Chains A and B, each alone.
Chain A
Amino acid sequence: MKEKIAVAFSVVLLAVVLLSLAVYFLSEPAAKVPVFIPLVALLVVAGAGFMIWKRVKAAKAGLKFKDEMERKISNKAGYYSFIATIYFCLAIAWFSDYLPSIGITGFEPRHAAELVILFSGLVFVISYLILDRIGPGE
């Protein structure tokens, strides 16, 4: 029962994220949002959607979707995400001045903040999915 509630909560959370992303992108003039922000957001949502779909599948089969190995994978993915985000923040600070020269214009500081949050989520999702496939290691 507890597991089913957790899965239902994940599905609701994903729906809320999708809704808030839709509201954000619809309320923002399209030209003002750098094209890669919605792209990264979609990748994060797709990855999270896949993770939730796997959980739903496991719950339907009467299996657990959280155990000690899954916790290890989550912790490791979180660690990778944390480290990658630190480097990403540094990279944004260093390269933001050069963005117009590679054709990315209208990049505001708040876009950097949005991108850092999304990048963190993206690294977490990708690391999680890879570790789930190859194992958490030692």
Chain B
Amino acid sequence: MKNRIKEFRARYNFTQEELARKAGVRRETIVFLEQGKYNPSLQLAHDVAKALKAGIDELFIFE
């Protein structure tokens, strides 16, 4: 699944570590999410979207 996490992260000038802290996950999880190598659960998608002040549908591109 494609996503715009990197774009939103850059918008708020967050590092991967800061985003991980805000979303309550490991830094590696953010890395794999950004690379599109990991499809998050609805809960994780919600947490990341909340940390980036975005909607899930804005952040994740369902194809």
Contact = CB atoms under 8 A, between A and B. Distances in A.
Interface of A: 58, 61-70, 132, 134-138
A58 B20 CA distance: 11
Nearest to A62: B21
Contacts, number: 45
Given A69-B25, A135-B32, 12 more contacts: A63-B17, A63-B20, A64-B26, A66-B26, A67-B25, A68-B41, A68-B43, A69-B29, A69-B44, A132-B28, A134-B37, A138-B39
Determine chain A's interface SS by DSSP, over half rule: loop
Contacts of B43: 68
B21 A67 contact: no
Count chain A CB atoms within 10 A of each CB in B21, B28, B29 and give the residue with the most: B28
Contacts of B24: 64, 67
Interface of B: 17, 20-21, 24-29, 32, 35, 37-41, 43-44
Contacts of B32: 69, 135
Contacts of B29: 67-70
A65 B28 CA distance: 9
A69 B38 contact: yes
Contacts of A61: 17
B26 A69 contact: yes
A135 B37 CA distance: 7
